[in-house]
Amino acid sequence: MYKTLKPGLGMLILCVVLVLAACSAKSEPAAQPAAASSGGSGTAEQPLTKVKIQLKWVPQAQFAGIYAAKEQGFFAEEGIDAEIIPGGPDIVIEQQVVNGAADVGITGVDSLLVSRDNGLPLVSLAQISQKSSYRLIAKKSAGITDPAQMKGKKVSTWFGSQQFQVLAFMEKNGLDPKKDIELVKQGFTMDQFFNDQVDVATATIYNEYHVVLESGTKESDLDVFNIEDAGVGMLEDTLIAKKDWVENNHELAVKVTRAILKGWNYAIDHQDETVDIVMNNVTEGSTTREHQVTMLEEIAKLIRPEGFSEKQVGSFVDESFTRTADIALKYGLIKKAANLDEVLEKSIYEEAVK
């Protein structure tokens, strides 16, 4: 499995706060330039600036735009030597960025809001995904054709910060998530769903949903509930950096962002080729090309949804951020209302797409 979700945020915040306390208050330089190389004419080329990019999970098409940016030379065009660092179950993205192990990272907006609520100086440079990927799925045999019929049923989802979209969905449909359903912690596989241990499961449209279909289940055998369509979707993948790193490296932040957004537009427009790039970076035997093809097809719809132009990729839609922050506050994910003017470094995105 290739879950995009991380361990519980309690452990995340504990780790990051400890690391932050140990860090110097003064920002370190962004990265040491790579050694200059000599071109064919004998003239020394401009040195590239090393930038470390931390993924929120293992290599997969969820990050296709970043791999495409490196392969197609978009980072190099900006004078950047990009090092792409894979994530995993024991890697806390915010910790990596705060302690300087990475210059920028990909994390969920909910995690960014929690980190800031706990005093961590992190900001978003660009919003990668524009819609929630979450779906609630039930087998036709469960007889759940309407959300109201989830009452009294076992509903599984990921915990940490990942359950709040599901809770909001229940309330939106008149159900008390504390009384009307039995909320079950979902693992990194869909085994609970396959084995009928739960009536309703959570799935991202780009990953788990297709894992279910690849198992032999037909779409016609499922009832699917779209959390985004219900109006309670929370934003997911966002590009983050430490605030003082951005202040000290403004132009570099713009260049990194521009290269990544170029990479995403390339990946969306050249999906077959980009899947080949992704497959060259995954662990051998960990996935199939077919699965990554489907993942990129679905991810593309979240990053450049219908009606979005290339220049809008990475943009900040205030309504979506406000909704995400409101849900986070309502369920106690954050203790005080988020100041989105401080969370979003809109100038970086605006300069990147000029």
End-to-end CA distance of the chain: 39
Residue 40 is predicted with a pLDDT of 39
Nearest to 148, CA basis, from 82, 225, 36: 225
Residue range 298-320: average pLDDT?
Answer: 97
Give the distance, in angstroms, between the CA of residue 157 and the centroid of all CA atoms in the same chain.
Answer: 17
Residue 61 is predicted with a pLDDT of 98
Distance separating alpha carbons of residues 162 and 50, to the nearest angstrom: 33
pLDDT tens digits along 171-219: 999 999 999 999 999 998 999 999 999 999 999 999 999 999 999 999 9
pLDDT tens digits along 52-107: 999 999 999 999 999 999 999 999 999 999 999 999 888 889 999 999 999 999 99
CA angle 339, 226, 320 (to 5 degrees): 20
Full set of structural domains in the chain with CATH: 48-131+235-352 (3.40.190.10), 134-226 (3.40.190.10)
The residue ranges of DSSP E strands in the chain, in sequence order, are 49-54, 80-85, 104-108, 122-127, 134-139, 154-157, 182-185, 200-204, 222-226, 237-242
What secondary structure letter does DSSP report for 64? H
CB-CB contact of 345 with 124 (8 Å): yes
Distance separating alpha carbons of residues 256 and 123, to the nearest angstrom: 15
Global pTM value? 0.85
Q: Is residue 16 scored above 90 in pLDDT?
A: no
Q: Is residue 299 scored above 50 in pLDDT?
A: yes
Residue 49 is predicted with a pLDDT of 98
The owner of tokens 């989105």 is 340
Alpha helices by DSSP H, listed for 78-233, are 93-98, 109-117, 164-172, 191-194, 208-214
Residue 205 is predicted with a pLDDT of 97
Residue type, 80: I
* Burial state string for 19-45 with b = 16 or more CB within 10 A and e = fewer than 16: bbeeeeeebeebbeeeeeeeeeeeeee
Phi, psi for 82 (deg, rounded to 5)? -90, 130
Looking at 30-34, 61-65, 289-293, which range is the least confident one?
30-34
Structure-token pair, residue 310: 């290339």
Question: Residues near 6 by Cβ (< 8 Å), separated by ≥ 6?
Answer: 12, 56, 87, 89, 91, 92, 93, 108, 111, 160
Nearest to 300, CA basis, from 206, 165, 235: 206
